[in-house]
Structure 1
Amino acid sequence: MKHRGRHRRRRRGRALRAALAGTALALTAAATLISTSQATVADDPGALKPVTSSAGTAPLRLTERSVPQDWLKRLSSEMGRPVAMDAVLADADGVLREADSCPADDRRALPVEPEATRAYCWDGADTGGWEAGAVTTSGDADDDGRWGPHRVILSGWSRSGPVTGGPGDASAAGDTADDADGRPGLARVAFVDRDAEGGPTYTWVLLAVPVEEGADYRALASSVSGMVWYQDKLLVTADRRDGSALYVYDIDRVQRATVAGPAVGRVADGWSAAGARYVLPAVAAYRATSPGAPLPGGISLDRSTTPDSLVAHEATEEGDDGPTRLWRYAFSVDPVRAGLLATDPGATAEAVAAYETKLTDVRSVLSHRSGWYLGRMTGTPDERGTLWRQDAEGARPTRCGADETHRCWSGDAASLSYWQETGEIWSQSGRMLFALPLDSVDRSLD
């Protein structure tokens, strides 16, 4: 049962403030050395351009396809009853470290300006070979910021390479992905208990897709570039080769794996989840209706619209000349369809608004009221990125204090999630999980 409660902000310790301040000073000094001589449209992308023609919005349509209920019932009956959130959080795999005890190399991933006010790092031994992706929180799931009594952060990760075992036929929600040739082969989510005694703890849960009429499951072989937890559903982006644009997971359907091995799915003596002790099977998927249609590269929740909406930026290749498309879908207000997108009788979700931006290499998106916040990769992987606020009137980037450069955002940040109840934005870059007030972003705009 979901219990509503009020959040009490945790006070930051002096050690954390000192560590973050010291890191920001060092990064600011490094940022001043970055050349700003390259003049591109990204230096002044101007206003967002609304896309209103049917030819422009039609490719954004998605078709909803649910996993049959008898598949899900069969999987649960053979694996055992789903595991409650309380039990998943209590069965932790590790503890996140405060910023002041994180390696300096990891802290370099933090933004220069605006400065992080909360920051943690993952253990390198537990994340080696995995790529950090999207972040969403119980602040997305419910406007009181809690799931039951817990404040929870979900952190997505993916790993390239082939997966041991697993079925070879198509799933109910989407086509089986090819996971060979160094492409992403596994996707998992860390369920982080923010309020755990002794610091935030986390538990790994593998993302999977039911196959063989619920007799088995395969890995979600995709990078996790976008993720939104809304009500009891978790929406996750998928690569184009997977055949779906978004997968949907029911947060109350976490299953317990019984075998600790590298395989995924049913094995001779039980159920395996590539080393994780829990697995979350998909309950639905959204597929593009047009061949070659743009797919979401990043997604986030916007509670400032009526109804609440899912916003997305277009997934593009590095160096794409643009423009980059932005759009939103409305969430359903039907209680029977909690957490799902609004669809017509034909199970089609239409974009309710769409725009084009001249910004290229967009890697994160957040919409709040009239502004769109866009995280942009800049130049080489060693250079820092830029965070822009763009709307119908123009665009402004955050700047590094009094310095001329705007490259003061975290270069690898792949997600933006607004925790409405606290006013914080959460993101993740490399092994750093961090938060900062949305107000501080607006104050840093040039």
Structure 2
Amino acid sequence: MKHRGRHRRRRRGAALRAVLTGTALALTAAATLISVSQAEVTQNPGPLRPLTSLADTGPLRLREQPVPARALNRLSAAMGGPVGVDAVLENTDRAMRQGSACSADDRASLPVAPAATRAYCWDPADAASTAWRPTAVTTSGDATADGVWGRHRVVLTGWTRSTTTGHPAERGLARIAFTDADDPDHLAYRWVLPVVPVRDGRDYRALTSGISGMAWYRNRLLVTTSADGAEALYVYDLDRIQRTTVDGPAIGRVPGGWSADGYRYVLPAVGSYRFTAGRCAASGPPCPGALAVDRGTAPDSLVAAERTAPGSDRKTRLWRYAFSRDVMGIPDTADNAAGAGDRKTTQPEHGSPLAADAAGWVDAAEAYRTRAGGILGVLSYRHAGADTSSWYVGRLPDSRDGHGGLWRLDRKGARGARCGADASHHCWAQAGGSLSYWQETGEVWSLSDRMLFALPLAALDRSPE
């Protein structure tokens, strides 16, 4: 059975790579028609500046705050036991359309250079609404070495409620699209609502926060939030997805069962990380923005970018935390990542996904400053033979409207993608979102404000000049 599973995964991987060459021309043709006569995003941000003093690295320190195991187990038992990612994907109820079937406005949001090799717009039920916008992406290519979780290749996208209209339960809400990416011609997804256990596991509340970054590693999903007036990284266990039982507007326990504003599934938080030096500020802890997984370090690491305004004079911090070498006891292979109900491992209820000391403190393993502001996407990758990693950042334009910029940064300097007759740096996606590298296929996944798209990592290296 394992041999047949590996063969199926190799065939699916080959199909994904074949699509990269089959759809690139159509998307490129659409993208190159976009006008890019706007002013430059900013001047060249220059080289990365390492941060080594305790005064600089101390504010990046985190403290783990786990949800008690008894609370998680009480909630799980009351809701009928957890289900896995596979259960969600077996009940997808929305389909994505490929780029050629999307509207001209949708396609105009894609990068001009480097061009997407495949792209998808959302189901009309979601695309028609302006109340929600996609803001973060991560994939099973981050989660496991072979890019398969359970029986599927998966793309997760975090969405933020961008307006306060609608009934009270929806205001400030976040949600996650679980997308089945096995067949690159037919992506389908289902919504899952992230929640936070309360009353010692006797109830839950909505995660009422925007999502600016998301990273999936083994069975843990880390999400940036601004919760209860403090910036945090919330931690979710993808083996603890729960089914709701009441289809109603409330969120939490209701007469007759459990409700989640009409969503079929909820994902309860199992913990969080908080900065120990106070509220985010220029001289204190950063406001965490984009997140990504870097599998090119030893051990693997979580990279992050500070959230700053585009066009400001304030320098932006980029940094990384090492992942624990034994994250929850979960093997880094698809054969052993079968999902809740199928996994036959012994896993502790707690244990930091990040490398923490015995008291739960987490220190940054590396940190830099850059003059690049307005960063919405970050990626770190060390090329063969390189002394240090390159950092890729997708940035907003100064006006917060139109196409942003894509830059490759290292300690030696910065190179930005250029396009159009005026060699503008306005080449990246509109309101470009986070970046996620899928090692097995060599693709980088990202978001515009209207579409989900992918392109080879090699294209990001060829494009900057």
Percent identity between matched residues is 52
Trace 1:64-103 onto structure 2 (pairs within 5 A).
Answer: 64-103=64-103
| CA distance 1:9–1:15, shift in 2 (3 Å) | closer
- Counterpart check, 1:316 vs 2:308: yes
- 1:34 corresponds, among 38, 54, 59, to 38
Q: State the match for 2:347 in structure 1.
A: none
1:115, 1:318 → 2: CA distance? 23
Residue matched to 1:169: none
Q: TM-score, normalised by structure 2?
A: 0.86
Task: Give the distance between the partners of 1:283 and 1:58, measured in 2 at CA.
Answer: 25
Change (3 A) 1:444 1:254: same
Partner of 1:393: 412
Which residue does the alignment assign to 1:23?
Answer: 30
SS in 2 for 1:238: strand
- Asked if the contact 1:211–1:217 (Cα under 8 Å) also holds between the matched residues in 2, the reply is yes
Q: Which runs of 5+ in 2 are unaligned?
A: 280-284, 331-351, 383-388
Secondary structure, counterpart of 2:33 in structure 1: helix
CA contact 2:432–2:448 (8 Å) conserved in 1: yes
Equivalent-residue separation in structure 1 for 2:21 and 2:216 (angstroms): 32
1:361 counterpart = 2:374: yes
Report the TM-score, using the length of structure 1 for normalisation. Answer: 0.89
CA contact (8 A) 2:31 2:107 kept: no
* Structure 1 residue 301: Cα displacement: 0.6
Partner of 1:416: 435
Paired with 1:377 and 1:335, the residues of 2 have a C-alpha distance of 34
The reply on whether 1:105 has 2:124 as its aligned counterpart is no
Residues in 1 aligned to 2:27 and 2:324: alpha-carbon distance in whole angstroms: 40
CA distance in 2, matches of 1:428, 1:334: 31
Structure 2 residue aligned with 1:139, among 135, 138, 141?
A: 141
Q: Tell whether the 8 Å contact from 1:330 to 1:341 is kept in structure 2 after alignment.
A: yes
Query: Could you tell me how far 1:383 is from its partner in structure 2?
Result: 2.5
Aligned pair in 2 of structure 1 residues 336, 12: CA closer, same or farther (>3 Å)?
closer
Q: CA deviation at 1:84?
A: 2.3
Distance 1:294 1:163 in 2: 32
- Aligned to 1:246, which of 233, 236, 239? 233
Correspondence 1:319-398 to 2 at 5 A: 319-336=311-328, 340-369=353-382, 370-398=389-417
The more displaced of 353-362 and 397-406 is 397-406
Extract unaligned runs of 5+ from structure 1: 167-178
Kindly indicate whether the alpha-carbon contact (under 8 Å) linking 1:221 and 1:242 is maintained by their aligned counterparts in 2: no
SS in 2 for 1:8: helix
- Tell whether the 8 Å contact from 2:24 to 2:116 is kept in structure 1 after alignment: no
Contact kept in structure 1, 2:311 and 2:398, CA below 8 Å? no
8 Å contact kept, 2:120–2:452: yes
Cα drift, residue 294 of structure 1: 1.1
| Residues 443 and 457, structure 2, Cα contact 8 Å, conserved in 1 | yes
Structure 1 residues 13 and 374: CA distance shift in structure 2, 3 A: closer
Distance 1:80 1:394, change over 3 A: same
Q: Please give the alpha-carbon distance, in whole angstroms, between the structure 1 residues aligned to 2:20 and 2:141.
A: 23
Amino acid aligned to 2:19? R
Q: Alignment partner of 2:272: what SS?
A: strand
Q: Does 1:203 align with 2:214?
A: no
CA distance in 2, matches of 1:79, 1:441: 45
Cα separation, 1, equivalents of 2:426 and 2:84? 43
Quote how far apart the aligned CAs of 1:356 are: 0.3
- 1:193 equivalent in structure 2: 180
1:273–1:196 CA distance, 2 compared to 1 (3 A)? farther
Post-superposition offset of 1:381: 3.5
Aligned-residue Cα RMSD (Å) equals 2.3
Offset from partner CA, 1:251-286 (integer Å, 9 cap, x none): 111100112222111111221112211000000100
1:172 alignment partner in structure 2 = none
**What's the CA shift for 1:335?**
4.6
Q: What is the total number of aligned residue pairs between the two structures?
A: 423
- Secondary structure of the structure 2 residue equivalent to 1:188: strand
**C-alpha contact (below 8 Å) 2:21/2:117 kept by paired residues:** no
Q: Distance in 2 between matches of 1:416 and 1:270?
A: 38
Deviation of the 1:316 alpha carbon: 2.0
1:9 aligns with 15
Q: Report SS of the residue matched to 1:213.
A: helix
With over 3 angstroms needed to count, the CA separation of the structure-2 counterparts of 1:70 and 1:96, relative to structure 1, is: same
